[in-house]
């Protein structure tokens, strides 16, 4: 089974049950459709900021915006710069989920899980692009950290969207409840640091302290 | 202020944001705050643009709306008033455009902003700018045509100023929300803006290929404000690489295509405007030859009527259809939306929507139906009603250019319907009848059509925006009149040069085997030149007739679609080879298509109640048990649940309605205000329905007042609320408080990823459901029964 499909299954809280042909075919065909939707509609943008640290938090230079919270502070502690990223699968993906919710809920649920797996994949691609770009020359990358993780406030979505001008560049806006819309969109922060010897702050499932999460890798 | 001369070049200014950054604006800082903090900087920038040659400057109000300013220290009034004052001061004799940008939130159904809220936000801006003395309303950088519509209506209804509206396109030729250029032209022109066009996102070179449909179809002046090239990210900044002179050279090419209004967007400066001015001084505006077409559009795509056959689906109409009547009475919008989806899948290019029946609130229901269908499919809609109020409410809320069905030759009808069609830019169906009724002879119907078109033109409606329905009379009552309808089509098309439509099915009323008469009549009418038949696209005879006609009339080139439709059987992704399986096994495997068939087979030998008890319930119990034990996972559970609902839909037709209605217990479901994650709630709905509960689903982002209203009107005992995020659990709590304030006699169960038993009790819920299955158990316990066994 390929990595993408196993990610999709993970988001469907799959626990190695036998997959009958019926559901397996539905997952395969939905994933294929999801990949096509993604390829037609995904967009992303990013920008580097020099950073400084003070009592309030991490200040993004040439702006008046702080990243708040102990966790993001620790995440970027050894970095001299950070990169803000925003990515989306686009509105047609959202439409497909809404449409299927009316005619085939099983498929809508699977499509939703595909979207979650695919947007993470887009972020992985962006990270590869960054590794090969001049922005990260002679620098190491930390993991990705997003608003809502740990004590990094979800309200920071709005600041990140503003700084990256996501509304104009990629069509992503933030709802009054701080939800990124279209829903299959992500913002993330990656730190850039010099010293190779530093082991950086862990991210992803490994760093999370929720023990009974059904999506745990 | 001077008046606007559209026959000459009009030159706007360049970017404000770029200039502000040069003057020290930090990223993330509110650009509009400069109107208060540093008015001298704003005025200086305006003056620089005027010196460079702009004859219109735009106020620094792009993001000045109550949503974006909510957390700032400034009032909307203060920001906009100052901005207009500064611009006025700098303008001298030049024009001042009030700049209005997008609100900053996606609209429903993707986001949580409603059309009315968007309208209100734009209205506030317009009122202040208008009172302060702006000369033009410039609505710019809009991606969502629906948002543009809200802004244009706000501008029209709160000022008398000319309206310019530009939208922003991506390289793929669509806006970020998916609207193509032809649809932009169709919808904005219909709404009566004075100027339309493109700005931002692209450089001048990239804009050129996007302009074709603007040039070809826009009857009004076109405006273009490109960026200084495509943005490139360079480390900590965004840069634009096009130079002022090469920018101006591209503008020259665009001007030669027939665009006459220019300016610059991101990355442009007074130097760009100076270069453009220099170029424009050496050339004269070019006249365009505009092609007139008859169109209807959703927010995403345009149907051109008269190029091939435009099939209009007629099924959403209660007349003679018990299931639609029932759905309208129960406000079952989902059922009606499914009818629209089915017709679209069957090849309808337009969907007619008629909700007219006694004892319902036609206006409210019509608005709900339109809102739902336009969120699901991109097929243009035809608003079909006898009531002008219903028509106006529906065309107002519609996200594209709708068709109004209909006006006729009666003076009163024309006086009420034409102003609505004009204001909202609808295409309008005109019936060839008047005060004296439907004339028998084709020539008389032609005369009525002629009168309607002339009257329409007096209201400012062009003839390409009227399609004539020559009216089918029933062969059983007025046999001699049937061919007059056909003759009238020929006559009207030939002499008036307009497109035609016709409700086909009426012809066979009262006769047996109606499909035969309908499809024959359809072929006659199409041969006579009918453009938009109103038919049932799901009827085999009708769809075959259309397929065949398309080949024989040389529309379907090389019969490609025809051959394809017979060769290409839809690929079934499901395994449905289950001849030897019982209904129970079929359901356990989640084979939805087969579940229906098996149920029908079983109904020959078993009673409906026996099937429920012996097959459906036991299958559900097995699946539910396996899910709880982790032997199957969620998609399998839902797949089975959907299969049960399919089986149940067949059984329902056999059960006396009173039995279903009288005994089932109602549960109201809603995803709370502010939250748009509703898949979990939808799953709960399917499962509850499996167990015979009647679910009233209010959807997502639901206001507590709406919940309260239904709890009272429907006498609800149990509510299920869902919220996915920590931030929206807060809204869930507020909803619960609001409900409890009213002392209503009902219990509340809640569910959602971040909730747990403790948290749920903390926000005042009565029950916590950890998953959909748990929700069913709670409902069963609450109603102290097993609904099916009680039946």
The per-residue DSSP string of B392-420 comes to HHHHHH-SSB-EEEEEES-HHHHHHHHHH
Residue B567 pLDDT grade (very low, low, confident, very high; cuts 50, 70, 90): confident
Q: Is the pLDDT of residue B424 over 80?
A: yes
Provide the domain limits for residue B457: 294-567
Q: Which residues of A touch B29 (CB under 8 A)?
A: 63-64
Q: What is the CATH number for B482?
A: 3.20.20.20
| pLDDT for residue B261 | 98
- Full DSSP string of A68-112: -SHHHHHHHTT-SEEEEEEEE--HHHHHHHHHHHHH-HHHHHHHH
Asked if B111 lies within 8 A of A175 by C-beta distance, the reply is yes
Q: Answer with the one of B631, B652, B673 that is the final residue of a domain.
A: B652
pLDDT one-digit tens code per residue, B480-501: 999 999 999 999 999 999 999 9
State both tokens at A165: 């001008």
Q: CB-based contact (8 Å) between A133 and chain B?
A: no
E strand residue ranges, B288-415? 294-297, 302-305, 312-316, 350-354, 381-384, 403-408
pLDDT at position A217 over 80: no
Q: Do A177 and B178 touch (CB under 8 A)?
A: no
Q: How many residues in total does chain A contain?
A: 217
Q: For B459, which DSSP code?
A: T
Q: What is the band of B49 on the pLDDT scale with cuts at 50, 70, 90?
A: very high
In a domain, B575, yes or no: no
Whether residue B240 is found in the same domain as residue B346: no
Residue A214 scores a pLDDT above 70: no
DSSP at B113 = B
Q: What is the CATH number of the domain that holds B62?
A: 3.20.20.330
Among B532, B567, B602, which residue terminates a domain?
B567
- What class, spelled out in words, does domain A3-201 have in CATH? alpha beta
Query: Is residue B4 included in any domain, yes or no?
Result: no
**A94 contact residues in B (CB cutoff 8 A):** 110
Assign B530 to helix, strand or coil. coil
B396 and B511 within one domain: yes
pLDDT tens per residue, range A69-81: 999 999 999 999 9
For chain A, which residues make up each domain, given as ranges? 3-201
pLDDT tens-digit readout, B264-312: 999 999 999 999 999 999 999 999 999 999 999 999 999 999 999 999 9
pLDDT at position B542: 96
Over residues A115-139, the pLDDT tens digits come to: 999 999 999 999 999 999 988 989 9
Q: Where is the binding site for Zn(2+), in residues of B?
A: 200, 265-266
Same domain, B34 and B166: yes
| Closest partner CB to B574 (pick from A25, A47, A91) | A25
B633 plus B709 within the same structural domain: no
Say yes or no to pLDDT of A105 above 80: yes
Q: Looking at the structure, tell me whether residues B61 and B200 fall in a common domain.
A: yes
- The answer to whether residue B1 is domain-embedded is no
Inspect the interface and report whether the beta carbons of A25 and B141 lie closer than 8 Å: no
Give me the residues of A, 39-58, that contact B with CB < 8 A: 45-50
H/E run at residue B455: helix B442-458
Q: Hey, which residues 723-782 in chain B have their CB within 8 Å of chain A?
A: 725-728, 731
**Which 567-596 residues of chain B touch chain A by CB within 8 A?**
573-575, 589-591
Chain A residue nearest residue B627, CA to CA? A17
Beta partners for B502? B533
Q: Is residue B68 assigned to a domain? A: yes
Same structural domain, B664 and B648 = no
**pTM of model > 0.90:** yes
Per DSSP, chain B holds a count of helices (H) and strands (E) of: 33, 25
Are residues B640 and B661 both part of a single domain?
Answer: no
The count of domains in chain B is 4
Residues B88 and B163 placed together within one structural domain of the fold: yes
Which CATH number goes with the domain that contains B751? 3.40.50.280
Examine the domain organization and report whether B467 and B615 are in the same domain.
no
pLDDT at B785: 60
Q: Does position B575 have pLDDT exceeding 50, yes or no?
A: no
Rounded to an integer, the average pLDDT of B219-237 is 89
The answer as to whether B401 is a domain residue is yes
Is B205 part of a structural domain of the chain?
Answer: yes
* Structure tokens given for A12: 């469907």
pLDDT, one tens digit per residue, over B190-213 is: 999 999 999 998 999 999 999 999
Instruction: Let me know if residue B288 belongs to a domain.
Output: no
Same domain, B407 and B453: yes
In a domain, B576, yes or no: no
B544 and B600 in one domain? no
**pLDDT tens profile B17-43:** 999 999 999 998 999 999 999 999 999
The CATH number assigned to the domain holding B642 equals 1.10.1240.10
Burial class, B323, CB count within 10 angstroms (exposed 0-12 / middle 13-18 / buried 19+):
middle
Q: What is the DSSP string of B728-782?
A: HHHHHHHHHHHHHHTT-S-EEEEE-TT--HHHHHHTT-SEE-SSHHHHHHHHHHH
Q: Is the peptide bond before B109 cis (omega within 30 degrees of 0)?
A: yes
Which pLDDT tens digit goes with each residue over B74-121?
Answer: 999 999 999 999 999 999 999 999 999 999 999 999 999 999 999 999
B669, B701: one domain: yes
Residue B788 has a pLDDT of 43
Beta strands in B105-192 (DSSP E): 136-142, 163-167
């Amino acid at each position: 089974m390929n990595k993408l499909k196993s990610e999709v299954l993970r988001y469907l809280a799959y626990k190695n049950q036998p997959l009958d042909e019926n559901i397996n075919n539905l997952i395969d065909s939905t994933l294929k459709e999801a990949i096509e939707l993604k390829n037609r509609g995904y967009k992303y943008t990013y920008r580097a900021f020099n950073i400084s640290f003070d009592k309030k938090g991490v200040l993004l230079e040439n702006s008046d915006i702080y990243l708040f919270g102990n966790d993001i502070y620790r995440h970027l502690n050894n970095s001299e710069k950070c990169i803000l990223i925003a990515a989306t699968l686009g509105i047609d993906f959202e439409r497909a989920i809404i449409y299927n919710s009316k005619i085939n809920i099983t498929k809508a649920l699977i499509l939703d899980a595909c979207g979650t797996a695919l947007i993470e994949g887009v972020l992985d691609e962006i990270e590869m692009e960054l590794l090969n770009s001049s922005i990260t020359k002679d620098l190491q990358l930390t993991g990705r950290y997003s608003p809502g993780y740990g004590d990094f406030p979800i309200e920071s979505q709005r600041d990140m969207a503003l700084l990256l001008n996501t509304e104009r560049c990629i069509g992503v806006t933030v709802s009054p409840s701080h939800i990124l819309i279209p829903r299959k969109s992500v913002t993330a922060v990656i730190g850039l640091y010099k010293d190779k010897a530093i082991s950086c702050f862990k991210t992803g499932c490994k760093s999370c302290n929720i023990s009974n999460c059904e999506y745990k890798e | 202020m001077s008046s606007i001369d559209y026959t000459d070049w009009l030159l706007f200014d360049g970017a404000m944001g770029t200039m502000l950054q040069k003057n020290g604006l930090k990223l993330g800082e509110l650009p509009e705050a400069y109107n208060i903090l540093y008015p001298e900087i704003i005025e200086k920038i305006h003056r620089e643009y005027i010196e460079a040659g702009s004859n219109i400057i735009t106020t620094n109000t792009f993001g000045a709306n109550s949503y974006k300013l909510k957390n700032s220290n400034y009032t909307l009034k203060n920001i906009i008033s100052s901005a207009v004052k500064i611009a006025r001061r700098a303008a001298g004799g030049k024009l001042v455009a009030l700049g209005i940008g997008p609100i900053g939130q996606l609209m429903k159904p993707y986001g949580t902003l409603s059309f009315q809220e968007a309208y209100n936000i734009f209205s506030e801006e317009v009122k202040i700018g208008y009172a302060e003395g702006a000369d033009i309303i410039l609505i710019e950088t809009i991606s969502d045509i629906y948002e543009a519509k809200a802004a244009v209506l706000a501008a029209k209804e709160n000022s008398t100023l000319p309206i310019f509206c530009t939208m922003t396109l991506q390289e793929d030729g669509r806006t970020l929300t998916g609207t193509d250029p032809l649809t932009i032209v169709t919808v904005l022109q219909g709404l009566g803006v004075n100027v339309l066009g493109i700005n931002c996102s692209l450089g001048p070179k990239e804009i050129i290929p996007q302009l074709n449909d603007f040039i070809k179809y826009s009857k009004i002046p076109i405006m273009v404000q490109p960026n200084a090239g495509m943005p490139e990210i360079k480390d900590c900044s965004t840069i634009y690489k096009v130079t002022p002179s090469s920018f101006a050279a591209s503008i020259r090419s665009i001007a030669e295509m027939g665009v006459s209004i220019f300016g610059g967007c991101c990355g442009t400066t007074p130097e760009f405007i100076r270069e453009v001015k220099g170029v424009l001084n050496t050339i004269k505006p070019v006249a365009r030859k505009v092609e007139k077409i008859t169109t209807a559009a959703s927010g995403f795509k345009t149907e051109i009527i008269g190029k091939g056959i435009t099939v209009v689906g007629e099924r959403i109409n209660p007349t003679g259809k018990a299931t639609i009547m029932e759905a309208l009475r129960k406000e079952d919008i989902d059922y009606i939306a499914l009818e629209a989806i089915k017709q679209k899948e069957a090849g309808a290019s337009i969907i007619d929507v008629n909700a007219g029946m006694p004892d319902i609130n036609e206006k409210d229901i019509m608005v709900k139906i339109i809102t739902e269908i336009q969120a699901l499919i991109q097929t243009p809609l035809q608003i079909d009603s006898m009531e002008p109020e219903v028509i106006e409410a529906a065309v107002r809320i519609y996200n594209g250019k709708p068709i109004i069905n209909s006006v006729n030759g009666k003076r009163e009808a024309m006086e009420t319907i034409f102003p609505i069609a004009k204001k909202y830019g609808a295409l309008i169906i005109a019936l060839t009848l008047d005060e004296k009724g439907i004339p028998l002879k084709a020539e008389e119907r032609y005369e009525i059509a002629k009168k309607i078109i002339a009257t329409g033109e007096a209201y400012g409606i062009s003839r390409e925006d009227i399609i004539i329905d020559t009216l089918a009379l029933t062969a059983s009552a007025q046999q001699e009149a049937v061919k007059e309808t056909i003759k009238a089509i020929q006559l009207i098309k030939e002499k008036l040069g307009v497109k035609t439509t016709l409700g086909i099915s009426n012809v066979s009323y009262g006769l047996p085997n109606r499909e035969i008469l309908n499809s024959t009549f359809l072929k006659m009418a199409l041969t006579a030149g009918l453009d938009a038949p109103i038919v049932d696209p799901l009827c085999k005879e009708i769809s075959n007739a259309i397929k065949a006609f398309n080949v024989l009339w040389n529309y379907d080139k090389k019969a490609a679609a025809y051959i394809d439709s017979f060769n290409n059987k839809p690929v079934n992704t499901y395994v449905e080879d289950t001849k030897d399986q019982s209904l129970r096994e079929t359901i356990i495997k989640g084979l939805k298509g087969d579940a229906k068939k098996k149920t029908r087979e079983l109904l020959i030998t078993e009673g409906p109640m026996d099937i429920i008890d012996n097959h459906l319930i036991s299958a559900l119990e097995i699946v539910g048990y396996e899910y709880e034990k982790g032997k199957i996972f969620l998609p399998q559970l839902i797949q089975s649940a959907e299969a049960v609902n399919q089986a149940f839909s067949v059984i329902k037709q056999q059960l006396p309605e009173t039995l279903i209605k009288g005994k089932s217990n109602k549960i109201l479901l809603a995803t709370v205000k502010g939250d748009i994650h509703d898949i979990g709630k939808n799953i709960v709905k399917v499962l509850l329905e499996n167990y015979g509960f009647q679910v009233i689903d209010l959807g997502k982002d639901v206001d507590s007042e709406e919940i309260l209203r239904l709890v009272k009107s429907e006498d609800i005992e149990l509510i299920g609320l869902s919220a996915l995020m920590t931030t929206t659990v807060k809204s869930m709590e507020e909803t619960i408080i609001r409900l409890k304030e009213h002392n209503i006699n009902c219990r509340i169960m809640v569910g959602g990823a971040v909730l747990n038993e403790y948290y749920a009790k903390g926000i005042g819920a009565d029950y916590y459901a950890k998953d959909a299955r748990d929700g069913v158990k709670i409902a069963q316990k609450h109603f102290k029964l097993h609904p099916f066994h009680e039946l």
